[in-house]
Amino acid sequence: MTDSYDVVIVGSGHAGAQTAITLRQNGFEGSIALVGEECHLPYERPPLSKAYLRGDLSFEQILIRPPQFWSEQRVSLLLGQRATSVDPIRRRLSSDGFPDLNYGKLVWAAGGTARRLGCVGEDLAGVHRVRSYGDILKLKAEIEGIRRVVIVGGGYIGLEAAAVLRKLGREVILLEALDRVLARVAGEPISRFYEVEHARHGVEIRLNTCVEAFAGRSGRVSNVILAGGEKIECDIVIVGIGIVPIVAPLLEAGAAGGNGVAVDTQCRTSLPDVFAVGDCALHVNPHAGPAPIRLESVQNANDMAVVVAKTILGMPAAYDALPWFWSDQFDLQLQTAGLSSGYDYAILRGTPASRSFSLVYLRDNQVIALDCINATADFVQGRMLVSKGSSPPPSMIANSNIPLRKTLEK
């Protein structure tokens, strides 16, 4: 038995849900199926490691839309299905244990899976990854009654989880293989600031530290073994070292790509009438260099979804949105505009001691990105500098008494 839909969307996260929403908002009358590997209604992922883990929000509060929305908008939710293969000639999608689906257009929004360390003991009970609602449910169920948590990875996920667990009164040791936290996404002043803040809140951070294996008792993790042999006792472990994009079915069907599936400015893959959006879409970004990149953010997921929906509807659209990101840790809000990779130098605006400052990144004297900590005005105004490719005098950028919008006049 095979069902047919005008648009089949694989992935029920932000990118997939927003594609369906935008299609309906713009008058699409055809049939839509949203295929999701998880059994849950589409939900917001960022709060999982922050407000939801803290217990500040219920699952109903992080739903992208209320349950009745999907039936009212005539979007068929095919949940609990893992897409396994694509036949681009017959325009057919196969899933484990479910009928095949014929599609007119296919939108691949499958996202990614939490990256594994690949070490001995990684499958012990008590070793957690933070990617899905199911992951967080398991973690929340084990937090009560435990004393010490070891977190592997000093990126956004690791630091956010550390902040929440310290607020919950747990002892936290964070291990980072590089010489500073946030090394892949931020300049050194931002990294050092967060290292100090986490230490001030009682997080023990160990840099240049690699995990060799996990050891346990009765099938449950009890120690993290470091390269060199040192053992750290723990009750649970959280591994937050990024994601691996889910693209194998498309690549096996002949789509171009590798670390993601390659798309053009309309988010088309090299397969006919097959699009890709969100975390798994490998694209040339106008705000980065010539090399294709993937962006793992809600903003990117939503903006790509809008482009695909409009393209399907025959409306002119091209992906050129300015990337932006955010992270909440303790009472600190980090807001990032643009992509800082490849910057020549950075200008500190304000002082870290004030806990409200920005780091402005430049390449060839042009502002390409900003990291703003508790400095929303800098973030809002700085986005304009990046969008316009501004090259204001460094002295004006560094002067926090001069609003960034004023530098546009120079």
Helix (H) or strand (E) holding 249: helix 248-252
* pLDDT reported for residue 290: 82
Q: What pLDDT does residue 407 have? A: 86
What are the strands of the beta sheet with 324-329, ordered from one edge?
Answer: 324-329, 332-338, 366-373, 357-363, 345-349
For residue 409, what pLDDT is reported?
A: 66
Percent of the chain with pLDDT over 70: 99
Tens of pLDDT, residues 177-198: 999 999 999 999 999 999 999 9
Question: Residue 62: its pLDDT value, please?
Answer: 96
In 3-state terms, what secondary structure has residue 40? coil
Cα–Cα distance, 307 to 277 (Å, whole number): 9
Alpha-carbon Rg of the chain, whole angstroms?
A: 22
| Percent of the chain residues topping a pLDDT of 90 | 91
Residue 208 has pLDDT above 80, yes or no: yes
Question: Given phi > 0 = left and psi -120 to 50 = alpha, else beta, which region is 242?
Answer: left
SS3 category, 57: coil
CA distance 33 to 227: 48
Is residue 1 pLDDT above 90, yes or no?
no
- Residue 410 — very low, low, confident or very high, per pLDDT cuts 50/70/90? low
Residues pairing with 173 in the sheet = 150, 204
pTM for the full model? Answer: 0.94
Q: How are beta strands 260-262 and 204-206 bridged, if at all? A: unpaired
- Give the residues across from 101 on adjacent strands: 3, 93
CA distance 384 to 337: 9
**What average pLDDT does the segment 256-284 reach?**
96
Q: Which two tokens stand for residue 151?
A: 């977190």
DSSP β-ladder status, 148-152 and 171-175: parallel
Predicted pLDDT of residue 2:
60
pLDDT in tens, 52-110: 988 899 999 999 999 999 999 999 999 999 999 999 999 999 998 899 999 999 999 99
What pLDDT does residue 216 have?
95
Q: Residue 288: pLDDT band by 50, 70, 90 thresholds?
A: confident
Q: Average pLDDT in the 360-382 region?
A: 96
pLDDT at 346: 97
Q: What pLDDT is attached to residue 237?
A: 98
Residues in the chain: 410
- Cα angle 112, 113, 114 (rounded to 5 degrees) comes to 125
Strands 83-87 and 231-233 turn out to be: unpaired
Report how far residue 115's alpha carbon sits from residue 180's, in angstroms, rounded to the nearest whole number.
20
**Terminal C-alpha separation, the chain:** 66
> For 239-252, what is the mean pLDDT?
96
The domains located in the chain, with CATH, are: 2-113+243-312 (3.50.50.60), 116-239 (3.50.50.60), 331-407 (3.30.390.30)
Tens-place pLDDT, residues 316-344: 999 998 999 999 999 999 999 999 988 99
Residues linked to residue 95 through DSSP beta bridges, in sequence order: 83, 98
Residue with tokens 């025959």: 314
Q: What is the pLDDT of residues 123-164, one digit of tens each?
A: 999 999 989 999 999 999 999 889 999 999 999 999 999 999
Return d(Cα 32, Cα 4) in angstroms, integer.
Answer: 9
pLDDT of residue 307: 98
251 vs 258: CA distance, rounded Å: 8
Find the mean pLDDT for residues 218-245.
96
- The structure tokens 């079915």 sit at 249
- Taking a C-beta distance cutoff of 8 angstroms, is the pair 325, 299 a contact? yes
Compute the 3-state secondary structure of the chain and give helix, strand, coil in percent, each to the nearest 5. 30, 30, 40
